[in-house]
Amino acid sequence: MPGSRRVSAASSVAFTVVVTLLVVVGALVILAILALSGAPRSVVLATALAAVPVGPIVACYLWLDRYEPEPRALLAAGLLWGGFVATAAAIVLQGIGGVVGGFTDRQTLEIVAPVTEEASKGLFLVLLLWWRRAELDGVLDGIVYAGMVGVGFAFTENILYLAAAYNGTDGMGPGGVDAVTATFVLRCLISPFAHPLFTTFLGIGVGLAVSSRGSGRVLWPAAGYVAAVVAHAVWNTSTASGLGHFAVAYIVLMAPALVSVIGLAVWSRRSERRMLASALSDAAARGLVPATDIGWVVDLSARRRSRAFARERAGRAGERAMRDYQQAAIELGFLHYRYLRGTPPPDYAARGEQFLQRIDALRPSIAFPGQVVPTR
């Protein structure tokens, strides 16, 4: 077990170092591109407009991520990766493709861009799967992380497109307010979900790989990447083929795909409750957690009531203890579920011991509504 802890800590450090370095490099590339645009006012305007859809879309992903909230630092890393690393890598790769490969603008839009952009975005998910697998519990986690990367990528890309539209350097006209308004409506109001949706296919594949055995651990992410590239290519081709083709692709393909992914995400969130209840019931039968606490952990409204009760009785410290206890029980539930499926992570025993220690340390100091409040 000590060896497992060292491996886990080393992987976490490696992930943090690699992502941080790449984010810094990517940020420098993007800042250099913006600086070379020579139009600071248009960049400020473009940044403000590009930020409009970010908050609502991120809020939707955080709403999905309520049963077992992912570390905020990792979610922020996903946003930064999409905004800087993936965008910078895609720009560089597409530039190389144009110079070395001789791809035309149309070929770059329809083929090179989907391949390179989905690869650069998806690399963050692959790194998570490789070095931080413990943070991935299933399809919903894959969707959430993919969404964050996609939102970050769309934000930076929209800045570049909006600034180019305003400056008239996008080849679509003289620029100005009318041009930037049209680009804003198309990219930020009509299709702000596009990049998160494309990357979600890979996120689903990564989520399925976590609980898969054998070749499924490779095939699912590969299939997700192919689906992401195809969806992206269809979208880009439609935008280059005129308003009629775009409308058909939007209504017939992309809108149904978005609805389907939303349905899958909501279903996954509901299934997590059933899964947690089942796994924690088995854990309770083994004497690991009190069976009376399960309802206060797996039901979101019950969680809120118990935290409010703890805050009323013991202030913020009591609420923090309740929140920490519920989080430890949830983490144990997900871990125990993977054990029951026969796909536990390598450091299963060490992590399980850690969660049980937290549960045992916190349980005497908390009480759920209707229970006797511990004396201090």
* pLDDT tens string 147-181: 999 999 999 999 999 988 888 776 666 778 888 89
DSSP state of 112: I
Q: How far apart are the C-alpha atoms of 128 and 90, rounded to whole Å?
A: 20
- Angle formed by the axes of helices 2-36 and 72-80, nearest 10°: 40
Quickly list DSSP for 255-322.
Answer: HHHHHHHHHHHHHHHHHHHHHHHHHHHHHHHTTSS-GGGHHHHH-HHHHHHHHHHHHHHHHHHHHHHH
| Percentage of residues in the chain having pLDDT higher than 70 | 94
- The reported pLDDT for the residue numbered 35 is 82
Record the pTM.
Answer: 0.86
User: Is a pLDDT exceeding 60 seen at residue 344?
Assistant: yes
Most trustworthy range by pLDDT among 3-17, 203-217, 310-324: 310-324
User: Is a pLDDT exceeding 90 seen at residue 100?
Assistant: no
Mean pLDDT taken over the chain = 87
pLDDT in tens, 238-296: 888 777 888 888 888 888 988 998 898 888 888 888 888 999 999 999 999 999 999 99
Higher-confidence residue: 375 or 368? 368
